[in-house]
Amino acid sequence: MKQFLIIFYTLFVFIFATLLTFLLLLPSIIYILLPVRYSMGLAGRHWQIFTWILFRFLMGTKILKIDQRSQKYCKRLMGPGLIICNHMSFWDIPLYLHYFSCAPIMKKEILKVPIIGLIALANGSIPLNRNSPHSRKLVVDAVKKRLNDGVPVQFYPESTRNKDWKLGPKPYDQIKKTLLLLAFEMKVPVIPVTFYGTPHLMNKNGLLNWGEHLGIYIGKEVIPSDFTDEESFSHFCWQQVIEGHNVLENKLQKLS
């Protein structure tokens, strides 16, 4: 009986979430015609409502948020900057969109998914083919343009989901550093963000778990001018993501 209720609950949540996604389709068609900063800001508000309903109402999720940013960088849609995050599961994306209006770098396969792909484009997503050096160059060019235009960009330096997420974020020598080095070169701040607990939202059978504890740690902005070289800057940025994991683990493990 309990297993039947969990299956029914999971189906209900996915059907309800699908209907909410359809509601985002029409405004997304309009937003995609706007300059990216405006489209991100407008679409981001919708995602904030969508994810609030998903996490708080449909899934009973309890989210611990720790924000170390100075007031200047605390806006949902901030100025030019690079937001870096660890990556453990698909659920990192809605958790991120719950707090930020910012264009993510996203694997191109997602943009081919009907409706979801269109909404992602309306949110200013930058497509990436991870197997193509040419695609990587185009992404770097697109990020440069966004930052020059005063638009923030988000990406996952771990490149793909970390299968060893229980051990924390990947070590520095295993991440992609190109955009961190670019941020140093362009003198734009980096906001380190850490997610915690998202893999626990679904069990190994793909069924949802109610009332899980999640955490998001938003580190203090890292300013390039405070560093003498790109390597120390890049390393410090990622170390803040790792330290964020340690903080959240200490606070949330006892609640699991």
Mean pLDDT on 190-201: 96
Residues 68-111: tens digit of each pLDDT: 998 888 876 667 799 999 999 989 988 998 998 887 888 877 77
| Segments forming the whole domain that contains residue 107 | 2-255
Query: Pairing mode, if any, of strands 126-128 and 62-67?
Result: unpaired
Domain containing residue 91: CATH number: 3.40.1130
Q: Assess contact for 101 and 43: CB atoms under 8 A.
A: yes
Percentage with pLDDT > 90 across the chain:
47
Residues 122-158: tens digit of each pLDDT: 777 888 887 788 888 988 999 999 898 888 899 999 9
Q: Assess contact for 51 and 95: CB atoms under 8 A.
A: yes
Question: What is the rounded average pLDDT for all residues in the chain?
Answer: 88
Q: What is the pLDDT of residue 45?
A: 82
Residues 201-224: tens digit of each pLDDT: 999 888 999 999 999 999 999 999
Q: What is the pLDDT of residue 197?
A: 94
116-129 in b/e burial notation, b at 16+ Cβ within 10 A?
Answer: ebbbbbbbbbbbbe
Using a cut of 0.75, tell me whether the model's pTM lies above it: yes
Say how many domains are in the chain: 1
Q: What is the pLDDT of residue 115?
A: 67
Q: Assess contact for 238 and 172: CB atoms under 8 A.
A: yes
